[in-house]
Amino acid sequence: MKKGDDMTAESGTNPQPWTASMIAPDEDFAGAPRLRYEVPLDEGHGKVASAELRVTGLGIVEAFVAGQPASDDVLTPGWSSYEWRLRYRTYDVTAQVAALPAAGASGASGASGASGPGQPGDRPAGRQLVLGLCLGNGWYRGRLGWTGSRAVYGSELAALAELSVTFADGHLQRVVTDETWRAGPSEVLANDLYDGQTIDARLAGDAWLLPGADLDGWCGVHQVPFDRAILTRYLGPPVRRQQVVRPVRVLSSPSGRQLVDFGQNLVGWVRYTVRGPAGATITLRHAEVLDHGELGTRPLRSALATDRFILSGGADTFEPTKTFHGFRYVEVEGWPGELTCDSLAAVVVHSELARTGTFECSDDLLNQLHRNIVWGLRGNFLDVPTDCPQRDERMGWTGDLAVFAPVAAYLYDVTGFLDDWLADLACEQAAAGGRVPFVIPDVLKYEDHPPEFPLPESTAIWGDVAVWVPWALWRAYGDAAALARHYPTMAAHTRRVEGLLSETGLWDTGFQFGDWLDPTAPPEAPFKAKAANGVVATACYHRTLSMMVQVATVLGETADAEHFAAVATRVKDAFNRHYVCATGGAADAPPAGVVSSDCPTVYALAISFGLLDGAVRERAAARLAELVAAGGHRIATGFAGTPFILGALSETGHLDTAYRLLLQRECPSWLYPVTLGATTVWERWDSMLPDGTINPGEMTSFNHYALGAVADWMHQTIGGLAPLEPGYATVLVAPRPGGGLSWAKASLQTRSGLLATSWTVTQADDGAGVLTVDVDVPDGVLALIRLPGAADRLVGRGRHRHRCAGIQ
């Protein structure tokens, strides 16, 4: 284990009881105070065998031990439902503590400075250890939401830390936060996640971390009332710096402003080293796009996304670690000298996730679309799965994740990340009486009720996240213990919605987001979709019930399984009775198979969610294909229909139509943004209009992963990898070439090992296409290979090649 490694998972099984106090500075110090404590290491016990630091805070905390960072984490302890869950990290700081100089070496105690408890003063000679904590506003006390709210969770920044040092003879020395600590100012003059950070390099330095530091201007601390019972170890990974991206060009705007283009829409901050006149200020403003050649800040709404750096006169390195921005472009003001691509670097920041799934094919635009989906996940999986990373929102909207979870679970190992988020969901759901809030953590409960929404109640897709996400994790990883952990939350949502059904058996009352952002809806009214809310909600509830029947069966909840199955039958019958024309025939009746609202979304959901059977299903599929063709193979679905429309087509004999829809380049389509140079998935199909102007709607983001749910179809139908059993214990290998693609490949690091497919289509002498498929199957996995015109084959470990002819 390297220096500063996170030990939370290792030491979290039976953690020691906390004895530390939550402490806050007596002065606020511009919302970025430093906390400090100095203590001699106990003598006479031999070498330091191990040292472990547990730390958390109200706000964000950066910890230092013996003058060195405790870890490379940032934005700790992140954002959780603070009312019930405050997470802490545990770090291995043995290397830092063991490296302390012996008595009499430079930096020993006795230097001038304030004395008193926790301060240098007149101490016996020995190895002096300094603990330092830098605080920031973060989610706890910074801005949250689009109404301008601040300090939603509390008004005081505070920290809790406990260092345990074990010596060679077994002696344990413990250092904890208490009222003997001291607090002082830092170089940070302002910090906010939405608005940015201001740093004055004239105030910077690490002298405060050295023994005997001059603490003139520092003050005391006080205990903050705090319930240690809410402390919990992280289930998910830390947030860390992941990558450095260099600019691709520096340009001037029409108004003469200097702009830097990083070539990629990303999430993080800008880091640089510069030398200039003392007191001069460099200002960086961030945005995702340009608008008429200028920085496009309107989509940010009230988020300032601005960092300011005041120079010391020497060589200054700036890195604003108490904020983050979503951006591709940066406007630079006040740069001393020539600004070049070598002047700045963008630091990509997100939760530490292991990449597991890949995809590539012969179409460059599809490959770019897939890269955009990956970058969208990276930017929005920053401690919380957010809707967007740039404007005055950045919340854990549940609907986005509900439809995207299968893609996330393929691309990355998101087990811990989403388990942690689901723990917050359970807390918020319990507090809301069984209702799943729109966002997790639910900061909206502290806002004045938005006039555009009726009183909150369970909603389809957004509320269904309580079932759909654990189901996606179960399918991806096969962890029955995790499924059992989440079962109470899943069942509570399912039962609550049962109580909301009307006498008809439909979910057709109350507020619904529906097919949110249907491209035909007005920019200012994204909820005005063609698909009726009752049709969407009832279909989604049937999907939830179908999942719950299987989950309850797996977990041995026999009574629940029987009950949910009975409700599913009732809902399906009601859907068909009220929303589907089964027979046609009457002069004024629609043809058989027509679903109420008669738009692509309702057919996609009815087919994909098992609501239609036999001839009615066939006619509905034909009608869906007709509508797609009549629309010029352009997208006509929103959040509800988009993830399922390609599957509904390809599963019912309309593969060519599915490919034409996927490969469409005109607006609205998946590839339209790619043709305009997009490097992430957009919130709206037309977040940028064909003339290069930004969509006039107030809600316009250029980094939203929800519409990227199409990658699930790409992985399964083009790449040919789909789980037949949870955790890919048995996998279906069934690539279905089309759309002119000549090759594709996909791979997935499963719990059993690497699973990979690749295929090519070549032309035989008679002109027919020949499909060649290579499959690598890890030990412990069975693969059912299903190719066009060939009998299924079940194979085990090893590399397998199969060919079939007659591919069109």
CB 157 within 8 A of CB 26: no
Measured distance CA(745)–CA(232) in Å, rounded: 41
Q: CA 129 → CA 37, 41, 119, 482, 552, distances in Å?
A: 8, 6, 11, 41, 54
Find where tokens 């006169």 sit: 313
How is residue 643 written in tokens? Answer: 């993830």
CA 72 to chain centre: 20
Q: Of these residues, 52, 162, 288, 393, which one is catalytic?
A: 393
Q: Is 288 a catalytic residue?
A: no
- Other Cβ atoms closer than 10 A to 404: 30
Q: In what order do the strands lie in the sheet with 743-750?
A: 357-361, 743-750, 753-763, 769-777, 798-807
Q: CA 581 → CA 80, 199, 400, 647, distances in Å?
A: 47, 66, 31, 22
Work out the burial of residue 740: count CB atoms within 10 Å of its CB; fewer than 13 is exposed, 13-18 middle, 19 or more buried: exposed
Measured distance CA(58)–CA(306) in Å, rounded: 24
CB 49 within 8 A of CB 168: yes
**Which one, of 47, 20, 85, 306, lies nearest residue 167 by Cα?**
47
The percent of the chain in helix, strand and coil, each rounded to the nearest 5, is 25, 25, 45
In sequence order, which residues have a C-beta less than 8 Å from that of residue 798 and are 6 or more positions away? 776, 777
Measured distance CA(243)–CA(345) in Å, rounded: 10
CB 360 within 8 A of CB 676: no
Q: Is 393 a catalytic residue?
A: yes
Q: Is 149 helix (H, G, I), strand (E, B) or coil?
A: coil
Q: Of these residues, 179, 683, 698, 725, which one is catalytic?
A: 683
Q: Buried (b) or exposed (e) across 27-56, using 16+ Cβ within 10 A?
A: ebbebbbbbbbbbbbeeebeebbebbbbbb
Which backbone phi and psi does 465 adopt, to 5 degrees?
-55, -30
**Which one, of 719, 680, 146, lies nearest residue 392 by Cα?**
146
Q: Per-residue DSSP letters for 718-751?
A: IS-EEESSGGGSEEEE-----TT--EEEEEEEET
Enumerate the active-site residues: 393, 683
